[in-house]
Amino acid sequence: MATVVEPRPMISEEAAPNGTVSPLESLPPIDPAIILQPNDIKAVPALVGEIVSRGLTAVKGDDQARVALLESARALVRALEKPRETMIRHCWADNTAFSALALGIDTGVWVYLGADDKPKTVADIAAATKIEPALLSRLLKHVAAMGYIHETGRDEYRPSSFSKSLTIPIIGAGYQIFTGPGSTGGLGKCVSSLPAYLKSTGYKTPNSMSDGNLQFSHETKLNMFEWLHANPPTGQQFNQHMGGYAQGRPRWLDDGFYPVQERLIEGFSGETLLVDIGGSVGHDINEFATRFPDAKGRLVLQDVEAVISTITENQISPKIERTVYDFFTEQPVKGARAYYMHSILHDWPDEVSLKILANIKAAMTPGVSRLLINENVIPDVGAQWEATALDVMMATLLSSRERTRVDWIRLLEDGAGLKVTNVYTFANGVESLIEVVLPETETE
């Protein structure tokens, strides 16, 4: 089919309403020849050099070197691709592979394929999963072409480490959430509808959890958490997905991250050492109890009844007090050494976050209490893609955001009337701990 390359920039009618001329119209068009040229061929030699150099360190088990090598490899692919190839990968390859992977999770394809490392035929996989062989053949061929399983012959495949991991709920659940149960389209529908939603708002920053993109996309009045629980099993899958997200990320208790002994334990003689607000089933506070078994003071885990009631008898240390608590109400534990929140405030717009912070502030004691906020702090330059992706996702699903340092200062100091003493950031900046005190407290 013949095509005609149109050099004129693509500009929506909204950019130039009522027949007026948009400022964009006066800009010179891009030469269409760029479509068939590599994105940045001049960068290739330097990137190849980085890959060779970093590879020598990464194979020795240095994870920071591995992350740097991975970024160099991604940059090399982007530099070598032509714009036309990048576009086809985005529009055709990535999203169809995502759906094929999700289908394989739903039907047990990856369970059967990953039972051992021996090659398996499409016919055998189809018989085990009740998928029409001709359809399965097409789907697996694409998954293999994308590099997610290994093709060993005609209609014959063996698993990869990645495809095996899809059988583990904390990895596989994310695909199910974004494709969704039934005909909902899941959270993926929200992502694809974001341009239309923002157009409908005049391209304003989303700021309402009850009247945002998710509500626009799914025609509902429920917020994201309510929607997940109203469309089972997505609520459970979301919790599993968050477990997968947390795997391998640095913890604030790791050596070289936050000086726990110096800032929290030494010199403390009060009643309550640590309160984990909205701490789910206690992953973080249980880790604290394990790493600092001799620390004096109460350890308190707080969350809503629906979460606290799911904790089994031996799931967390018996030293940890489990308390039903809604952080929109008065904080019942007064004067604790540390109030800790992990990935709580990023779920809420500033207006709502200030209400949560006010309840904590009212319970803090000057010179004693610290608020520890464990979240992303997006740097002004050189942000990591995992944090920026999450930022857009928060706008898409919850009308919230990942915050920069300036955003955090504006929220915590200008808004909540607290004082940020330090921001501790680990490794490649994907995880930070913000230490906050009452303004009456001098920085130690």
Helix (H, G, I), strand (E, B) or coil at 379: coil
DSSP conformational letter for 264:
I
Is the omega angle on the peptide bond into residue 233 within 30 degrees of 0, that is, cis? yes
What percentage of the chain reaches a pLDDT higher than 90? 77
* Calpha distance 265→315 (Å, rounded): 25
Q: How many CB atoms lie within 10 A of CB 359?
A: 18
pLDDT-based confidence at 175, cuts 50/70/90?
A: very high
Q: Which domains does the chain have, with CATH numbers?
A: 32-81 (no CATH), 106-167 (1.10.10.10), 170-246 (no CATH), 260-378+397-437 (3.40.50.150)
* Calpha distance 431→433 (Å, rounded): 7
* Calpha distance 282→275 (Å, rounded): 11
What average pLDDT is seen over the chain? 92
Query: Which of 152, 126, 127, 153 is CA-nearest to residue 139?
Result: 126
Handedness of CA 25, 29, 32, 35 (dihedral sign): negative
pLDDT-based confidence at 190, cuts 50/70/90?
A: very high
For 423, the token pair is 């921001």
Residue 121 backbone class (left: φ over 0; alpha: ψ -120 to 50; beta: rest): beta
Q: What angle do CA 350, 353, 358 make, to 5 degrees?
A: 125
For 331, the token pair is 């904080």
Summarize the confidence of residues 298-304 as an average pLDDT.
96
**pTM of the predicted model, to two decimals?**
0.86
Query: Which of 442, 438, 263 is CA-nearest to residue 334?
Result: 438
| Whole-number Cα distances in Å, 363 to 222, 285, 359, 368, 441 | 31, 19, 7, 11, 14
pLDDT value at residue 443: 46
- Do 281 and 311 meet the contact criterion of CB atoms below 8 Å apart? yes
* Calpha distance 202→8 (Å, rounded): 24
Helix (H, G, I), strand (E, B) or coil at 148: coil
Q: Which of 141-150, 169-178, 374-383, 423-432 has the lowest mean pLDDT?
A: 423-432
DSSP structure string for 220-242: -SS-HHHHHHHSTTHHHHHHHHH
Is a pLDDT exceeding 90 seen at residue 26? no
Higher pLDDT, 139 or 25: 139
Active-site positions? Answer: 346, 375, 402
Amino acid at 105: I
